[in-house]
Amino acid sequence: MSNKVILTCAVSGGHNNHARHPNYPISPEHIANDCINAAKAGAAIAHIHVRDPQTGMRSGEPELFREVVERIRDSGSDVLINLTTSEGARFNPGETDAAVGGPGTTLIQPLDRLKHIDALLPDICTLDVGTFNFGDTIFVNTPAHLRIMASHIQRLGVKPEIEVFEPGHIMFARTLIEEGLIDGDPMFQLCLGIPHASPATPEILVVMKSLLPDNANWSAFGISRFEFDIVTQAACQGGNCRVGLEDNLYLNKGEYASNVQLVERAVRIIREMGREPATAAQAAQRLGVRRQ
Domains of the chain, residue spans: 4-287
Average pLDDT over residues 62-73: 98
CB–CB of 124/182 below 8 Å?
no
Query: Tell me, what amino acid is at 85?
Result: T
pTM over 0.75: yes
Q: To which CATH superfamily is domain 4-287 assigned?
A: Aldolase class I (3.20.20.70)
Query: Tell me, what amino acid is at 75?
Result: S
Burial class (CB in 10 A: 0-12, 13-18, 19+), 159: buried
pLDDT of residue 16 exceeding 90, the answer is no
Give Cα 248 to chain centroid, integer Å: 13
Q: How far apart are CA 167 and CA 46, in angstroms?
A: 25
In terms of phi and psi (left: phi > 0; alpha: psi -120 to 50; beta: otherwise), the region of 185 is: beta
User: Is residue 15 very low, low, confident or very high in pLDDT (cuts 50, 70, 90)?
Assistant: confident
- What is the rounded radius of gyration, in angstroms, for the C-alpha atoms of the chain? 18
Average pLDDT over residues 154-162: 98
Q: What percent of the chain has pLDDT over 90?
A: 95
Q: Is 74 helix (H, G, I), strand (E, B) or coil?
A: helix
pLDDT of residue 24 exceeding 70, the answer is yes
Non-local CB neighbours of 202 within 8 Å, separated by 6+ positions? 229, 233
Q: How far apart are CA 109 and CA 88, in angstroms?
A: 8
Query: Tell me, what amino acid is at 24?
Result: Y
User: Is residue 149 very low, low, confident or very high in pLDDT (cuts 50, 70, 90)?
Assistant: very high
Average pLDDT over residues 182-209: 97
In this prediction, residue 68 carries a pLDDT of: 98
User: Is residue 63 very low, low, confident or very high in pLDDT (cuts 50, 70, 90)?
Assistant: very high
pLDDT of residue 1 exceeding 70, the answer is no
CB–CB of 28/66 below 8 Å?
no
